[in-house]
Structure 1
Amino acid sequence: MANTEHIEILDSLDKISVITYRLGITLFSLTLFLSSLAITDDISLVLIDGSLKEFTFITLALSAAMSAANLHVYDKKIRMLITWSAWIGLVLLSLLDDSRFFWLPVGFIFVTFSGIALKESFCFKVMGLRLVPFLLCIATLMLAMEVWLIALICLALSGVIFLFLAIQKWRMPLHFDIGNKGNYQN
């Protein structure tokens, strides 16, 4: 758990890393809303012109890469689990983006953001974050079973929680994300 009283001296790369991580979280929250819109378009609740689904996949991939590449977790096993889920999801997304199994890479990316939500809930006590893994798991199952309405609700709720997290993260000093550099396992 991060010690918010410790003020680490950050170099330029640290600052870029934290900003990119926070941008990834912010983009993910917006992607969850885009996913909800794409589902409402697919089930004809709302008609949207253009290729919203493809744009959503691109923003999902970008947010996962930004956050996973810049994750600050002390324990290397947990860090590896969270980041490798994103990389596996990204590879599968490029292979399965136009198939019935699109939920599989999305599920791997959701594992990454579930890990991020849990990490942030332990470090900073942001409201609702411990529900995110549950909501994203249900969303993935509902996407696989093509139960669109429940998936839409879970994605929208997760989007609200992640947007709240993003707002809280941007209010924090950058050194809160890094913590104590001496505590990281190599």
Structure 2
Amino acid sequence: MANPEYQEKLDSLDKLSVCLYRTGISLFAIALLFLALSLSSLFNLTHTLSLSLLITGIAAAMCAANLHVYNKWVRTIIVWSAWIGILLILSDPQQGRVWLSLGFLFITLSGLALKESFCFKVLGLKVVPILLASSIGLLYFTQTIYASILLALTGLIVGYLSFKKWQMPLHFDIGIKANYEI
């Protein structure tokens, strides 16, 4: 994917999709930090959990809708996990199953982190799936303070990824168009 020797000619839709994907990653980092704060009870505002779930869902949708992965099966798993997580958030207004909704959204983010770790050498990406899976387990057992610590750490790693991604040329995210399975 990130082959500096090869530069695909990007049209305006390619450029838009890469920018939306990178914006989704940036929003994911912000959402994870905000989710960590809302779970740690540092904010006693009403609806902070709902708002952080909304931001997380939007970030997942932006990344899933603009994902550039060659293999269609991998792409399908990453994308459908986002849509299932969003549907679960929408179908659970009392947030009784937050861990389940976030679990599907975190499958998407884990897939993105692994994809990016194979393409680019960004520190910490390979541990993101472990941190996210651990945070889901902690949320299931209502250990929210520990889950918030892991989510904050993950948010910082994804934030660093976002920073590095915005420094890269846009064609790095597309790779070779002919290699995509449809």
Shorter-chain-normalised TM-score: which range?
over 0.9
Q: 1:132 aligns with which of 99, 121, 128?
A: 128
Which residue of the other structure, out of 56, 63, 80, is the alignment partner of 1:60?
56
SS of match in other structure, 1:96: coil
Q: Residue 164 of structure 2: SS of its match in structure 1?
A: helix
Aligned-partner SS, 1:64: helix
| 1:39 aligned onto 2:43 | no
- Relative to the length of structure 2, the TM-score reads 0.97
**Distance in 1 of aligned mates of 2:46 and 2:19:** 31
In structure 2, the residue matched to 1:13 is: 13
Root-mean-square deviation (Å): 1.1
Provide the residue aligned with 2:24 in structure 1: 24
Question: Is the Cα contact below 8 Å between 1:86 and 1:112 reproduced in 2?
Answer: yes
SS of equivalent residue, structure 1 residue 169: helix
For the Cα contact (< 8 Å) 1:136–1:155, is it kept in 2?
yes
Report deviation, 1:50. 4.1
1:93 maps to a residue whose letter is I
1:58 and 1:101 mapped to 2: Cα distance? Answer: 15
- Residue 150 (structure 1) aligned to one of 142, 146, 150: 146
User: Runs of 5+ in structure 1 lacking a partner?
Assistant: none
Moved over 6 A (4+): none
Check conservation: 1:4, 1:179, Cα contact below 8 A: no
Identity %: 48
Which whole-Å deviations, capped at 9, do the CAs of 1:15-53 have from their partners, x for residues lacking one? 110000000000000001101110122xxxx24434211
Matches of 1:47 and 1:21, distance apart in 2: 29
Deviations 1:150-180 (A, max 9, x none): 2011101100100000000000000000000
Letter in 2 for 1:69: A
> What CA deviation, in whole Å up to 9, does each residue of 1:76-111 have, x standing for no partner?
110011001001111111102423212101100000
Aligned length: 182
Unaligned runs of 5+ in 2: none
| d(CA) in 1 for partners of 2:179, 2:31 | 32
CA contact (8 A) 2:89 2:95 kept: no
**CA pair 97-104 structure 1, distance change in 2 beyond 3 A:** farther
Pick one of 63, 66, 74 that aligns with 2:70. Answer: 74
